[in-house]
Amino acid sequence: MKRRRVVVAMSGGVDSSVAAALMVERGYEVVGITMHLADAPPTERTGTCCAPDDANDARRVAAHLGIPHFVANYKSAFKTAVIDRFVADYQAGLTPSPCVRCNDVLKFKLLLSRARELEADALATGHYAQVLDGSHGPELHRANDRAKDQSYFLFGAQRDALAQVLFPVGGLTKPEVREVARRHDLPVAEKAESMDICFVPDGDYARFVEQHAAPRPGVITDEAGAVLASHAGVHRFTIGQRKGLGLGGGAPRFVIRIDGGEGRVVVGGAERLDSRGLRADRVNWLAQRSAGDAVLVRVRHGSEPVPATLVEADDHALVVRFDEPVRAVAPGQAAVLYDPARPSWVLGGGWIRESLAEVP
Amino acid sequence: MRIYLDHNATAPLGAAARDAMLRALAHGGNPSSPHQEGRAARHAVTTARLQVARAVGVSERDAERCVVFTSGATEANRLMLSAATRLLVSAIEHPSVAGPARRRAATLIAVDPHGRLDLAALATALSRGAPGAWLSVIWGHNELGVIQDVAALRALTREHGARLHLDATQVLGRLPIDFAALGCDALSVSSHKIGGPQGAGALVLASGVGLSDEAAGHQERGRRPGTENVPALVGFGAACEALPARLAAMPAVAALRDRLLRGLSGWVQPVVSPAEVPTLPNTLSLRAPGVEAEGLVMALDLAGVAVSQGAACSSGSAEPSPSLLALGLDEGAAREVFRVSLGPETTAEDIEEAVRRIARVLGHIAGGGA
């Protein structure tokens, strides 16, 4: 009987390497593809998407597993869909979430399309998340290892894509994943994790934006509009920020709003950071929900989902009211919804357009 | 059954080369040593040099002086360019020439849509001060297959007192080469395109063409010092000995190439048509409109057919080839170009089966790949 073919997105890291090993264990015909997304600065050898050593690591793992391996050049699409958008979002006063964009465009669209071209039945990645069979089709769920869960970045997967995507490590903890790597003698079993956004390996997002766009200085004001200081660009600020404002002493002040168009950063007291709700657009629904339904909402990757109620919901947009105020909701980030009855289940998500001080 | 259609990338090692190399590997010896072991190795290298000289039309008497062994055509090209103070190159050179040329702000001569050097543009460029300048041109193109009019290039450069270097990497074994009759000043050749091993090549120089001697060693008369890779050079020489059979096979190879093109005529168009311009008998540069070559090459590999994309490689993935862009293709079209290159070993069955598999894969991809 002909084996089912699966394409595994191999970044050279231990998670995707183990994903490939698990698919081989399960008897699939595995094809590894490393996506070349950006040219690493000459000094960076690993830990960025497609630093030369990372691609070599993927190659070595593939050779070790006895599977074909290819490198796919997606630099142009990555630049347009992820990098340019990242820079534009920051300049518009938003706090971007480039990893969501990368998953939406590079993985669920381009790489999945390539997998179909290669007559693969599925695309597997090393993401910590799970796809489970539900009564209405495939469901996206959080990973077993809650600390490693990456479901926040995957809410944009379309339903038909979910039917063809596999997350082999989603049911394992990180220590279990390293154990699988050791069991298979993978060359990357002890490789360190890269923590930053792959195309900004030193984590200096401000400098990255400045290298890619002309400077747009502006002013920092209070809510009444009084100018308190000047700044070198709104991209240096995010909602809730307290440090680096250059405002001197006095009561603590926080960034409460950023007007990208005007280049204005608005500060206020801590109490002004509390949000009662949010509006999100470009929503991707993974389940049927309507106004009045209770949900859990996550407004950034690092925080726990909090209880809320859907106040408005249509095909493209939603408004939620939090049960308790949430601090520092940042437009540009994703708002991802989970089911209160089954909290691992991702109901959908969208892009935060506005933090709401009041929700009717 | 694997069908290998990437002979321009490398050719399978021929039996003659392999047998000669195995003997050389058993003997060892450093050709520079005065003792028996060294002399045997020296003899092996000398023999190889004579074999290469014969293959390119250099006389026995001139072999030691004119044939400089290198690790391959890339090194031969780089060695050649290092000796050129003023440099002109075509817009479609191999990276081993294009890269150094760019770094040295060489004059770039445009090509027509078939990839042939624009002779009028060349004449203009040469007339701006040529004496002592070098023109370096890829004689048979590795991606496009187009063959340059070397007689015309020789005439023009001579007229202006300029020197001519031909990159013959893809020409050796496919077209007859007579260095003396060509009258060019330098020629690069490669072992692994003709059934010899990787790691060997030669820069053939006309008398009067000097290369710098940095006193880094005496081998190759100081021009390319370092202990010779005896087994590889022996293999190169043996492959050159076997060249007549390869050359004789080329008409049949061309017929198979044309058969492949006919078999895929509903799916692909040639970038440079063998019917319109002289091309290497084994090379086809093809485009299936709407199909990205990167995915096609992967799918064909999984289907047991080895072909290639444009030759330029960066960090492991392919970039649209500058040669295709120089021909006037836009980036989107350049990303659709793939290359098929045959060898004397390619059979009619190979081609029939290749046509079937390529058509099936193209059908799948063009049909939405679902």
pLDDT at A1: 62
Given this model, what pLDDT does residue A10 score? Answer: 97
CB within 8 Å: A71 and B295: no
Instruction: Tell me the nearest-neighbour CA distance from B361 into chain A, angstroms.
Output: 8
Q: What is the mean pLDDT of residues A267-281?
A: 95
Segment B287-315, tens digit of pLDDT = 999 999 999 999 999 999 999 997 555 55
Report the b/e string of B213-238 with b at 16+ CB within 10 A.
eeeeeebbeebbeeebbbbbbbbbbb
Helix (H) or strand (E) segment spanning residue B285? strand B283-287
Mutate: best of B291, B300, B317, partner A, most A CBs <10 A = B317
Cβ-proximal residues to A185 (8 Å cutoff; 6+ apart), any chain: A64
pLDDT at residue A201 tops 90: no
Chain A interface, best mutation among B298, B331, B362, by max A CB count within 10 A = B298
Is B207 at the interface with chain A, CB within 8 A? no
Average pLDDT over residues A254-282: 94
pLDDT at A261: 87
Minimum-distance CB partner of A39 among B315, B318, B369: B315
Mean pLDDT along residues A288-294? 96
The answer to whether residue A4 scores a pLDDT higher than 70 is yes
Strand order of the β-sheet with B337-341 is B269-270, B283-287, B337-341, B308-309
Q: Which residue of A has its CA nearest to B364?
A: A117
Q: How far apart are CA A182 and CA A188, in angstroms?
A: 9
As beta bridge partners, residue A69 has: A32
Lowest mean pLDDT among A50-54, A141-145, A214-218, A267-271: A50-54
Looking at residue A53, its pLDDT comes to 79
**Which regions in chain B score pLDDT beneath 70?**
130, 311-317, 369-370
User: In terms of residues, how long is chain B?
Assistant: 370
Q: Is the Cβ pair A73, B365 closer than 8 Å?
A: no
Q: Would the CB atoms of A114 and B301 count as touching at under 8 Å?
A: no
Tell me what pLDDT residue B370 has.
53
- Binary contact (B364, A34; C-beta < 8 A): no
Test B364 with A117 for CB contact under 8 angstroms.
yes
CB contact under 8 A, B317 and A36: yes
Report chain B residues whose CB lies below 8 A from the CB of A119.
299, 302, 364, 369
* pLDDT for position A52: 67
Buried b (16+ CB within 10 A) or exposed e, A29-62: bbbbbbbbbbebeeeeebbbbbbbbbbbbbbbbb
Q: How far apart are CA B170 and CA B280, in angstroms?
A: 8
In chain B, whose CA is at the least distance from the CA of A115? B369
CA closest to A70 among chain B residues: B298
Interface test with B, best of A73, A109, A114 (most B CBs within 10 A): A73
* Three-class DSSP labels, chain A: CCCCEEEEECCCCHHHHHHHHHHHHCCCEEEEEEEECCCCCCCCCCCCCCCHHHHHHHHHHHHHHCCCEEEEECHHHHHHHHHHHHHHHHHCCCCCCHHHHHHHHHHHHHHHHHHHHCCCCEEECCCCEEEEEECCEEEEEECCCHHHCCHHHHCCCCHHHHCCEECCCCCCCHHHHHHHHHHCCCCCCCCCCCCCCCCCCCCCHHHHHHHHCCCCCEEEECCCCCEEEEECCHHHCCCCCCCCCCCCCCCCCEEEEEECCCCEEEEECHHHHEEEEEEEEEEEECCCCCCCCEEEEECCCCCCCEEEEEEEECCCCEEEEEEEEEECCCECEEEEEECCCCCCEEEEEEEEEEEECCCC
A vs B, Cβ pairs < 8 A, gives 52
Q: From the CA of A56, how many Å to the nearest CA of chain B?
A: 9
**What's the rounded mean pLDDT across residues A162-188?**
96
**Mean pLDDT of all residues in A7-24:** 97
- If we measure between CA atoms, which residue out of A280, A312, A316 comes closest to residue A298? A280
Whether B298 contacts chain A with CB within 8 A: yes
State which H helix or E strand residue B317 sits in. Answer: strand B317-318
Q: pLDDT band for A39, please (50, 70, 90 cuts).
A: confident
pTM (2 decimals)? Answer: 0.93
Q: Is A198 a catalytic residue?
A: yes
pLDDT score of A191: 87
Record: contact A68-B301, CB cut-off 8 A: yes
Mean pLDDT of A18-39: 96
Q: Do B318 and A73 touch (CB under 8 A)?
A: yes
> How high is the mean pLDDT of chain A?
93
